[in-house]
Chain A
Amino acid sequence: MQTLLTFLSSEPIRLLVALVAIMSFVGANAAYLVWVERKGAGRFQRRPGPTEVGWAGLLQPIADAAKLLSKQLIVPPGVDRALFRLAPVLMMPPALMSLAVIPWGESLAARDINVGLLMIFAFGSINVMAIMLGGWSSRNKYAIMSAARVVSQNVAYEIPMLLVVITMILVTGTMNLNEIVRQQAGPFWHWNLFRVWVNPLMPVTFLIFFICMLAETNRAPFDMAEAESELVAGAFTEYSSMGFGVFFMAEYANILLGCALGTVLFLGGWQSPIGLWPGVFWFLLKLYLLVFSVVWIRWTFPRTQFYGLLNLSWKILIPVSLFTLALSAAMMKLLRL
């Protein structure tokens, strides 16, 4: 018995459990966020959304998945076969791996490493490459246009995102995500979002983070990768069956990751807003509130033109985020916080 317990609590087993848990969490969420998205879209447009498959359309994602899985995976002639197949494969793992360092609860993180934030951003850049590879290897003019857009968009938005993250590292003094959450203990005005005594522009920093997160996940109004109205389906034009499905799932996995990161960095992670009963429950609540606002934004704003998008980043977000970085550095130096 004792040996069994020690075996079960040994590190490889713990990692295996964490891996399976994260994969199933991402899988279930990717499927059901599609449902949330469609239901949300319906409600925002004063219609009920999916209602036919299962109660309130709850079996819709399963039906969609079954449909996608049963379709033929077409590799069009003339594509770069290896890269074409590799692109969807490269899309999913970064999001899964990054979720491993997210602290869901006080002691509920697959890997509590002290460079968690760095790891997330290191892996975060891979999915841009995956979309680019997918677009480029497709041998399709729309896909390649979309690939070019994705790269320039993601380069533009990576900069303010990283500046915001550097600000947060400066303020918290650590890259360990669990430590960042622990610092925000107590009622909600202890959250980084409201830490205005370190940096009066903290809410603005959160706003920039959120905008960049939307842009990095290629969500409307920044969905240049999948510009339906002008580029068919952008980089995913030539993908069919589960090849397309994986891109689709990865989009939601990335939203999940972005929202989880926003929760950890700004909204106090698993800390309770009233200072009582901290736990996973609060983390999930905040996470899904952010996910809801992502859906809300998508069904509110139309897509901007591409140069408008780049202007927003280079002319507004980068200067403002640089300013907040400089401001918090100066305040920390002067006030000796």
Chain B
Amino acid sequence: MKKTALEILQGLRSLLIGLRITLREFFKPAVTVHYPHETLKIPPRFRGHIELVRDPETGRAICYSCKLCERACPSDCITVDGAKLEGAKKKSVTKYILDFTKCSLCGSCVEACRDSAIRFSRDYNLAGLSKDEFVMDLFKKLEDEARAAGLREAPAAVEPPPAPAESARTAGAAAPAPLKTS
């Protein structure tokens, strides 16, 4: 009898402790992040899909289409194409297709690249209506970005290079306009 009564009282006490805890939480600020309205800061080592790195001097992709990444990819999701621009010593990338539907983000391509021409992006808002939206041309993306940022007017790599190759390469980033008109 005494034991039962004690048990009941102890049970009641534990219930009250539980209520006290939840009430205390009630008055604390919310801890959730409201995704579309606010986002967390993406850490620098976040591994999104890969992207081409721009050479800070020329403003173009570093990539010269050596295809090491294409070979390193275990899922066969990278297709690189390059062309030798007139007067240039190395090839330049003209097409860099990443089939993200097959990519497992293993990072072998980034490791294989000798010139750090590709890196992980920090894109994570990836949603699409069809599978085709995930077969992306990274080169085109890079060029689009450059155009949006006002770096160049047109994708220079597919354009015929200006007559004195050396001067154009150095002027590429600084003087964007005259490329096409010359």
A interface residues, Cβ below 8 angstroms from B: 40, 42-48, 51, 296-297, 299-301, 316
Which residues from chain B contact A44 at a C-beta distance below 8 Å?
22, 25-26
Q: Is the CB of A46 within 8 A of B30?
A: yes
Structural contact, B32 and A48, CB atoms closer than 8 A: yes
Known contacts A301-B15, A316-B8: A296-B22 contact under CB 8 Å: yes
Q: Which of B18, B26, B29, B34 contacts A301 (CB 8 A)?
A: B18
B31 within 8 Å of A by Cβ?
yes
Contacts A301-B15, A301-B18, A316-B8; is A296 near B23 (CB within 8 Å)?
A: yes
Q: How far is the CB of B16 from chain A (nearest CB, A)?
A: 10
Q: Does the CB pair B22–A46 fall under 8 Å?
A: no
**Interface contact B23-A42, CB-CB below 8 Å:** no
Decide if A47 touches B25 in the complex (CB within 8 Å). Answer: no
**Are A47 and B30 in touch, CB under 8 angstroms?**
yes
Residue B19 is within 8 A (CB to CB) of chain A in the complex: yes
Judged by a CB distance under 8 angstroms, whether B28 is at the interface is yes
A207 to B106, CA, bound (A): 60
**Bound CA span A43–B19, Å:** 14
A-contact bits for B18-50, CB 8 A (1 contact / 0 none): 110111011011111010000000000000000
Contact, CB under 8 Å: A300 / B22 = yes
What distance in Å separates the Cβ of A25 from its nearest Cβ neighbour in chain B?
Answer: 26
* B19 interface neighbour in A48, A297, A316, Cβ under 8 Å: A297
Give the size range of B's interface with the partner: 10 to 19
B8 touches A46 (CB 8 A): no
B31 touches A43 (CB 8 A): no
* B contact residues vs A (CB 8 Å cutoff): 8, 15, 18-19, 21-23, 25-26, 28-32, 34
Q: Which of A46, A296, A297, A299 meets B32, CB within 8 Å?
A: A46
Q: How far is the CB of B20 from chain A (nearest CB, A)?
A: 9
Which 4 pairs between the two chains have the least Cβ-Cβ distance?
A300-B22, A47-B32, A46-B31, A43-B26
Residues on A with beta carbons closer than 8 Å to the beta carbon of B29: 46
| Contacts A44-B25, A48-B30, A296-B23 known; 7 new A-B pairs at CB < 8 A | A42-B30, A46-B29, A47-B30, A47-B31, A48-B32, A297-B19, A301-B18
B75 to chain A, nearest CB (A): 38
Q: Does A296 lie within 8 Å of B30, measured CB to CB? A: no
Question: Knowing A51-B34, A316-B8 touch, does A299 contact B28 (C-beta < 8 A)?
Answer: no
Closest B residue, CB atoms, query A302: B18
Query: Once the chains are docked, how many angstroms separate the CA of A336 from the CA of B31?
Result: 58
> Nearest Cβ distance between residue B9 and chain A, in whole angstroms?
11
Contacts of B25 in A (CB 8 A): 43-46
Bound-state CA distance A61–B23 (Å) is 25
Q: How far, in whole Å, are A296 and B15 apart by their CA atoms in the complex?
A: 12
What is the minimal beta-carbon distance from A196 to any residue of chain B, in angstroms?
A: 18
Nearest-CB distance from A205 to chain B (Å)? Answer: 14
Complex Cα distance, B19 from A297, in Å, reads 7
Give the complex CA separation of A173 and B156 in angstroms: 96
Q: How far is the CA of A44 from the CA of B8 in the complex (A)?
A: 26
* B22 close to A299 (CB less than 8 A): yes
In the assembled complex, the Cα of A301 lies from the Cα of B14 at a distance in Å of 11
Minimum C-beta distance from A198 to chain B (A): 23
A327 to B34: give the CA distance in the assembly, Å. 55
26 CB < 8 A contacts A-B = A40-B26, A43-B26, A43-B30, A44-B22, A46-B28, A46-B29, A46-B30, A46-B31, A46-B32, A47-B31, A48-B30, A48-B32, A48-B34, A51-B34, A296-B19, A296-B22, A296-B23, A296-B26, A297-B19, A299-B22, A300-B18, A300-B19, A300-B21, A300-B22, A301-B18, A316-B8
Contacts of A301 in B (CB 8 A): 15, 18
Task: State how many angstroms separate the Cβ of B143 from the closest Cβ of chain A.
Answer: 38
| A293 and chain B: residue at smallest CB distance | B19
CA distance A300 to B15 in the complex (A): 9
Contacts of B21 in A (CB 8 A): 300
A327 to B: closest C-beta gap in Å: 15
Nearest Cβ in chain A — how far from B28, in angstroms?
Answer: 6
- Chain A contacts for B30, CB-based, 8 A: 42-43, 46-48
Residue of chain A at shortest CB distance from B37: A51
Tell me the bound Cα distance from A51 to B30 in angstroms: 13
In the bound complex, how far is the Cα of B4 from the Cα of A316, in angstroms? Answer: 9
